[in-house]
Structure 1
């Protein structure tokens, strides 16, 4: 009976893996279309910041040079529970610093919810709201792409998330490779299929009318995923704009990375508990494949947890000096099936680098260290499962000042 359960779980995980691999094939082709839409929409750009005096100035300078009519957008820096000079830096750069102090409700989700209420009370009404993190850099044509999508009737838009410091360490290289993979073989594939994309926490654009109707209401540790699921429940599909680039700073050390990913996984467990079954039942009742896909994605954190536990169980069984007790489904499959499955898993990441035209040979060399980063998700997710009720928001410190020109010159080289 135990072996039947173990094999059954392995079959479930294998089916999910095959499903995602099948979806990823639709990201191989990238369809580009030239869209020349005159600037029409007005934007409120919100920059979420907590003690970001070192980096927020570079982003503000970047945003003030966007290729979009200056009268059609305003910049607001949310200085959330700051104890440094973030507000002073924002004001010195000529933008509005919105200071929020609430030590009991900490975190980006609460800060955004507060800021939106402040925004709706202002005399000027904006067509859309764009959100960035203080450590970001933004392609100068970002608002033009958002404007075009809004004019086509899109309500929730996610920009292309890239890494601004992939060359800093093997950890940031792993982030960069993972993001290129996700952009191409997760996000683009779903856009090509007309499915919902998933918000990534920054580089997001929302129609103001929709935000007012729905309210923000996303205050978990992964407010982006939470809002994504709320949208899909309502039949609203966030869409990826592959040309609108946002560059995000990633932690350099493994310790900082583990702390950040632990927060993500803790929040993901919370979202999975809230949305998996409702979305699954809706998808069955409405015969809605998009909601089914969202349900599967919401539960992906449990797939990682289950994979870790099964792997640890089977390897422990093999290592112990006794007869094997537990069975693996792979012992019942032809060897070529196992080889093909492993090849499918391995080939995706280098393929993503080639498809994304990554030129740096160092990034290809870091494919050798990538497995360490990927495997580290397993214990992190396991620990997150047992600490998922911890909703304390942890801040990732950013201290390096990188300009957009620096990122673009490295990519060109």
Structure 2
């Protein structure tokens, strides 16, 4: 029985490892970015209805309307609509004063963005003026001037739904907003752009996307769960459509300031993911197998994100207990530290490619990553090569078959040396550049904590997947489009 359990855990870990490797390979295709200036040469042909969903957003509603009014697109080819959804503040009156077409909705038992959009779609369909596409935004967004030009270009290429680049308008407000920003920058490059390069379907991100009116009428919105964007993406893929990606159409989004706000928002996302997975995963897998459709398979795996996150956490825990880390077992002692360095530098490299990190700061991270080599060198000096395998297990925080007599003091000295290295590094950095660089460096280290919190958040989201309560994030910053571009 013991061997059976052990073999099952090994199979489980290797399955998680394979899926992890799939996403790693996928991400590598995002490192390449083709320069495409076709939007500038494409004649404006599509008429857009721009929808802003707002619930008690009097603090920020004016700024998004200002940015939409400044779009570099013929003014007679787009109109701005604000849905004042169950508001009890001045959102509606402020939006009217700034020239938007305001529709007030008061349906207290059906709160949430999905319901508000469905309500508004029906009214747009019945208007005398006809639109080719509808673009969706949140009230806290700011929109780049070229947004509609990029969307027009992608729609002319044949896409029925196109997602824009979701950026952050307040990355420097706190370590949480910085962590959010890093997460979105990475996802935009490593998963959205990568899927475009591979011919897969992208994922709708909840805001900053546009939909062809005809496809919306044909499929129907009907997406009223907590992640209506993912639900509609699944419907599109099931019906043979791909979501396009406009890397240069930027939407700046306000990120939560505190861990509590972030926790609630991400829990809501995971609730929605778990809900959608329960309804669409099997359908997508059937399509993938029956039609040998890799687009459907990729989308099916994406819906399983909450369960894959938990599975990864369990796999790491099993590695801690059993010392069965597939990566450390595959690599030689000369390669392992270099791979560890690469893991640390991969995200800073993406930030550098996205022009979110200076070359100077990237070099700082490169110098810091040498800490891995220092740790390995210290350990090799303090212990013989015969115990190298034990070192790998200790480096991975495992407690399996160790020679504690040699091992414990050696690990202690290695940890102490590493701590001293970090302290000296931070001290030097604070002397060279007391403010910006030090903050960026420390906040990047804290990004690891943000990443780890996904595991308990995801577990909560799965448990509460059938709860539909809407958690509203209050926005308190007035930032103009000129301040972020």
Partner of 1:394: 471
Per-residue deviation at 1:8? 1.4
- Alignment RMSD (CA, Å): 1.8
- Whether the aligned pair in 1 keeps the contact of 2:135 and 2:209 (CA below 8 Å) is yes
* Secondary structure in 1 matching 2:117: helix
Task: Show the counterpart of 1:354.
Answer: 352
- For the residues of structure 1 that align with 2:329 and 2:337, how far apart are their CA atoms? 11
Task: Identify the match of residue 112 of structure 1 among 111, 117, 135.
Answer: 117
Structure 1 residue runs without a partner (length 5+) = 318-325, 409-413
- The answer to whether structure 1 residue 283 and structure 2 residue 293 are counterparts is no
* Equivalent residues in 2 for 1:150-299, closer than 5 Å: 150-299=155-304
Looking at structure 1, the residues matched to 217 and 188 of structure 2 have their Cα atoms a distance apart, in angstroms, of 29
Q: What CA deviation, in whole Å up to 9, does each residue of 1:296-354 have, x standing for no partner?
A: 11112101112223444554x4xxxxxxxx56354992453866765564333112111
Specify the alignment match of 1:17 in structure 2: 20
- The alignment status of 1:100 with 2:110, answered yes or no, reads no
Distance 1:2 1:48, change over 3 A: same
Q: In structure 2, do the counterparts of structure 1 residues 363 and 214 end up closer, same or farther at CA, with 3 Å as the change threshold? A: farther
Specify which of 75, 84, 102 is matched with residue 80 of structure 2. Answer: 75
Cα distance in structure 2, aligned partners of 1:158 and 1:52: 24
Question: Judging changes above 3 Å, is the alpha-carbon distance between structure 1 residues 339 and 380 closer, same or farther for their aligned structure 2 residues?
Answer: farther
How far apart are 1:282 and its partner, in Å?
Answer: 1.0
Q: Which has the higher contact order (CA 8 A, sep 6+)?
A: 1
Aligned to 2:329: 333
> SS of the counterpart of 1:84?
coil
C-alpha deviation, 1:285, in angstroms: 1.1
Instruction: Please give the secondary structure, in 2, of the residue aligned with 1:94.
Output: coil
Contact 1:3–1:327 (Cα < 8 Å) also in 2 = no
Distance 1:384 1:403, change over 3 A: same
Distance in 1 between the 2:330 and 2:191 partners?
29
Higher helix content, 1 or 2: 2
Partner in structure 1 of residue 126 of structure 2: 121
> How many Å apart are 1:162 and its aligned residue?
0.4
C-alpha contact 2:16 2:315 (8 A) present in aligned 1: no
Q: TM-score, normalised by structure 1?
A: 0.93
SS in 1 for 2:247: strand
Larger Rg: 2
Pick closer, same or farther for the CA change 1:333–1:253 going to 2, 3 Å: same
SS in 2 for 1:333: helix
Determine which of 381, 397, 404 is the counterpart of 2:481. 404
What is the count of residue pairs matched by the alignment? 399
